Chains A and B, each alone.
Chain A
């Protein structure tokens, strides 16, 4: 077990290194000069000032030097400083990452609360009207893009009913009620599609388990239907549901671009999108590596969890 883990973790490191190298090259192929952007674009800067700025930012050094400096800094967990205001990339990420994680977790919780019960009901009433209705709702849920759902939720809750703010972020410590109010719409939008995925997954894995011999045996033994379903069937089918939830969570860390854009949520994705627009190289690199690492890490955890919960898979 320990050996497998060690191998897995070392592959993770190599993966991160390769990702880092790819990102480093990608951002430098992109047209656009951070020095010009730092100096402002509403009015052209002096060419001499641009040259001076390139020097200050270290962009006039050979690319290989920049690369080796960056990698060796990264080995010491130093992601460098933003080109724009000398703030540590780490500080940026530590401000933004929790906000995305919060959004993702609230969305996943909401989605699970809706999706799992619906999935179970659908599985139990298989083929019936309820099943049909739930399946069609689920199909709708995964069919409408998040930005469409979000736009209509804003239209309805913010402009027609004036119930919830359309966008933005308030610190929990500053104003808890407004904080909660502002997370509802984006989380709900995300949860809409996720709930559908989770419901489908729950349904199909419940069905699979319910068809297994041991369930029939349990029933034959005279156990109450309730206990068969909740104690045995559900517990056995939850593994694959958890896997899906875990993988979705990993994907959400970098996959909330459209939601953060729509709701002005200051999370990881909007940080990355802004840093791309600014060509802020160290910040882009730091963001992508963080997102990729989160994704790899979540996958690893899901892998391990899977191993623990279901001993049959190695």
Chain B
């Protein structure tokens, strides 16, 4: 299996991009050249200054330091939300597909209803009464993406449950927990893993979109989406200010998407895009 990963060029490329990102996210606070929150009202919106290679923002804060620390909320929200969506979604989907009956109907109807709301609108409304902030964003975005996993786990579970050896295992009197945990879950894991990479990408987009609208991470803490949203207004005075976070966000998204592609190739060559 590991060989398969190492042989896949796309996987290697995405890994080469993502690894430093994650490392920087972890060691960020120790390598930043300046305090990302410190205001220098005498050197605002500089394209580049000695000691400030990427320039400063409208508060005279170091853009490089803010970029480095800005990875954190983005990654924390994306990973946390995906974890929530994955856990809740898989459990709901598997129970619906395994037990069928009323449980199936209830769960899948609820999932359908959540799906009726475009993710960004649902998030927008919930942020409205719940307030922004990293923890809230994580939970909100997690809930928004539960249906994706629930539907996938549901249909895969039905498929796997129909297989002969599962049926025979069941007729031998194995407990539900054993069947679900030992047989069904490992068998539906591949499509779920692929979905995880897609969801991380979508969650980053959603978080950055909300932050762009000013409803995400609470200032003065930096986040990429928020930096892009703020910098948009200074496009004529410091165009590099909008360029850097955009570039890093795009690059990260690219790497995660490539990772998804390669996972699909490796884990399930037959699987379709959706």
**Chain A residues proximal to chain B, CB less than 8 Å:** 11, 14-15, 18-19, 22, 26-27, 29-31, 139-140, 142-145, 147-148, 151-152, 155, 159, 200-201, 204-205, 208, 240, 243-244, 251, 253-255, 257-258, 261, 269, 272-273, 276, 288, 291-292, 295-296
Alpha-carbon separation in the docked complex, A255 to B116 (Å): 11
Q: Which 4 A-B pairs have the closest CB atoms?
A: A143-B253, A254-B118, A292-B116, A143-B254
* B228 contacts the other chain (CB 8 A): yes
Of the candidates B124, B235, B257, which one forms a contact with A257 in the assembled complex, judged by CB atoms under 8 Å apart?
B124
In the assembled complex, the CB of B163 is this many whole angstroms from the nearest CB of chain A, namely: 21
A-B contact pairs, 19 of them (CB 8 A): A19-B117, A29-B129, A139-B257, A139-B261, A142-B201, A142-B253, A143-B251, A144-B246, A145-B225, A201-B274, A208-B272, A251-B118, A257-B124, A257-B209, A258-B212, A272-B121, A276-B124, A295-B116, A295-B118
Alpha-carbon separation in the docked complex, A292 to B129 (Å): 20
Query: Do A155 and B118 touch across chains, with their CB atoms under 8 A apart?
Result: no
Of the candidates A11, A205, A255, A258, which one forms a contact with B213 in the assembled complex, judged by CB atoms under 8 Å apart?
A258
Alpha-carbon separation in the docked complex, A258 to B273 (Å): 25
The chain B residue with its CB closest to the CB of A144 is B250
* B171 contacts the other chain (CB 8 A): no
Alpha-carbon separation in the docked complex, A257 to B122 (Å): 12
Q: Mark B104-144, 1 if CB is under 8 A from A, else 0.
A: 00000100110111111100111011000000000000000
Alpha-carbon separation in the docked complex, A205 to B273 (Å): 9
The chain B residue with its CB closest to the CB of A247 is B274
The chain B residue with its CB closest to the CB of A296 is B116
Query: Do B117 and A145 touch across chains, with their CB atoms under 8 A apart?
Result: no
Question: Are A148 and B228 CB-contacts (below 8 A) given A22-B113, A139-B257, A255-B120?
Answer: yes
Query: Do A244 and B116 touch across chains, with their CB atoms under 8 A apart?
Result: no
Of the candidates B112, B201, B236, B258, which one forms a contact with A15 in the assembled complex, judged by CB atoms under 8 Å apart?
B112
The chain B residue with its CB closest to the CB of A148 is B246
Alpha-carbon separation in the docked complex, A273 to B124 (Å): 8
* B208 contacts the other chain (CB 8 A): yes
* B88 contacts the other chain (CB 8 A): no
In the assembled complex, the CB of A289 is this many whole angstroms from the nearest CB of chain B, namely: 10
14 additional A-B residue pairs with CB within 8 Å, beyond A144-B246, A255-B120, A255-B121:
A139-B258, A142-B257, A144-B250, A144-B253, A145-B225, A148-B228, A148-B246, A151-B232, A152-B246, A200-B273, A201-B274, A240-B272, A276-B124, A276-B128
Query: Do B120 and A257 touch across chains, with their CB atoms under 8 A apart?
Result: yes
Chain A residues whose C-beta falls within 8 Å of the C-beta of B117 in the assembled complex: 19, 254, 288, 291-292
In the assembled complex, the CB of B225 is this many whole angstroms from the nearest CB of chain A, namely: 8
Question: Are A143 and B257 CB-contacts (below 8 A) given A151-B228, A159-B236?
Answer: yes
Query: Do B246 and A258 touch across chains, with their CB atoms under 8 A apart?
Result: no
* B242 contacts the other chain (CB 8 A): yes
Chain B residues whose C-beta falls within 8 Å of the C-beta of A30 in the assembled complex: 125, 128-129
Q: Mark B235-268, 1 if CB is under 8 A from A, else 0.
A: 1100100100010011101100110010000000
* B183 contacts the other chain (CB 8 A): no
Mark out the residues of chain B between 38 and 66 whose CB falls within 8 Å of any chain A CB in the assembled complex. none
Question: Are A145 and B249 CB-contacts (below 8 A) given A151-B242, A276-B124?
Answer: yes
Chain A residues whose C-beta falls within 8 Å of the C-beta of B128 in the assembled complex: 30, 276
* B12 contacts the other chain (CB 8 A): no
Question: Are A254 and B121 CB-contacts (below 8 A) given A151-B228, A240-B272?
Answer: yes
Alpha-carbon separation in the docked complex, A276 to B232 (Å): 23
Alpha-carbon separation in the docked complex, A269 to B201 (Å): 23
In the assembled complex, the CB of A308 is this many whole angstroms from the nearest CB of chain B, namely: 20
Question: Are A288 and B208 CB-contacts (below 8 A) given A143-B257, A201-B273?
Answer: no
* B205 contacts the other chain (CB 8 A): yes
The chain A residue with its CB closest to the CB of B242 is A151
Query: Do B213 and A261 touch across chains, with their CB atoms under 8 A apart?
Result: yes
The chain B residue with its CB closest to the CB of A255 is B118
The chain B residue with its CB closest to the CB of A19 is B116
Chain B residues whose C-beta falls within 8 Å of the C-beta of A29 in the assembled complex: 129
In the assembled complex, the CB of A283 is this many whole angstroms from the nearest CB of chain B, namely: 13
In the assembled complex, the CB of B231 is this many whole angstroms from the nearest CB of chain A, namely: 9
Chain B residues whose C-beta falls within 8 Å of the C-beta of A255 in the assembled complex: 118-121
Question: Are A148 and B249 CB-contacts (below 8 A) given A139-B254, A205-B272?
Answer: yes
Chain B residues whose C-beta falls within 8 Å of the C-beta of A296 in the assembled complex: 116
Query: Do B209 and A145 touch across chains, with their CB atoms under 8 A apart?
Result: yes
Alpha-carbon separation in the docked complex, A288 to B113 (Å): 12
Alpha-carbon separation in the docked complex, A244 to B273 (Å): 10
Mark out the residues of chain B between 18 and 77 whose CB falls within 8 Å of any chain A CB in the assembled complex. none
Chain A residues whose C-beta falls within 8 Å of the C-beta of B274 in the assembled complex: 201, 240, 243-244
Name the residue among A148, A204, A243, A273 with the largest chain B CB count within 10 angstroms.
A148
Chain B residues whose C-beta falls within 8 Å of the C-beta of A11 in the assembled complex: 109
Name the residue among B116, B124, B235 with the largest chain A CB count within 10 angstroms.
B116
The chain A residue with its CB closest to the CB of B255 is A143
